Amino acid sequence: MLDTSAAINLLFVRHGATDWTRTGRYQGRQDTALSPEGEAEAAGLARSLAGMPIATVISSPLRRARDTAGPIAAAAAVPLALDSRLVELAYGQWEGWTQSGIKRHWPEALRLWKHAPGEGRPPGGESLAEVSARLNDLLDCLQQQPSDGYVVLVTHDVVIRLALLAMQEACLAAFRAMRVPPASVHAACLCHGRLFPANKELAAHV
């Protein structure tokens, strides 16, 4: 039986909406700001999570994540740390483009990215394996720093999809099936270097 005495409770939070999420543009490392809708979502997240025993909030350094994380940390009266391992996948030459534009200019690269995400990568960008490696590095560090409360990780679409795959013990072929809307919260338990889904009561709360 798995010993859960060293388990760490995590909340993966995707940043609020931006104008680029609304128009379907690939953001990647572009430092886009929250839209008014996204700012309202960040405030709503802060209110809904304020009653939870949060130990710390760690955010991607990109503005849209920082500005989502700030209200959460302030409402919980805990520190906000920035960690580049939570940054979005680098989309390289695709950043700022919509999928229709990418299909016209990079049809083969897009086809591979869509149908074999574990093998493809955006031109000049990162692979899913590279993002997974830096996420795992962060999780290994967190495992060595026991926490009495929840650790909130404010991050991006691809990072959270990879975390969900790990929780479900699914392969990268299932990457497209993961859905991570802006301002969504995904509860997990980190134990002995592995991610597990949180219990139903916690998932219902968030």
CA distance 166 to 148: 23
Q: Is 119 a catalytic residue?
A: no
Residue 89 is assigned to a ligand binding site: yes
Task: Report whether 107 contacts 75 (CB < 8 A).
Answer: no
Residue 90 is assigned to a ligand binding site: yes
CA distance 161 to 128: 10
Task: Report whether 120 contacts 113 (CB < 8 A).
Answer: yes
Q: Is 192 a catalytic residue?
A: no
CA distance 137 to 75: 28
Exactly one of 41, 88, 95, 126 is catalytic; name it: 88
- Number of residues that make up the chain: 206
Tell me, letter by letter, the H, E, C secondary structure of 42-108. Answer: HHHHHHHHCCCCEEEEEECCCHHHHHHHHHHHHHHCCCEEECHHHCCCCCHHHCCCEHHHHHHHCHH
Residue 91 is assigned to a ligand binding site: yes
Exactly one of 15, 95, 126, 156 is catalytic; name it: 15
CA distance 163 to 188: 9
- Known binding residues: 64, 88-91
Which residues does the annotation place in the binding site for substrate?
64, 88-91
| Residues with active-site annotation | 15, 88
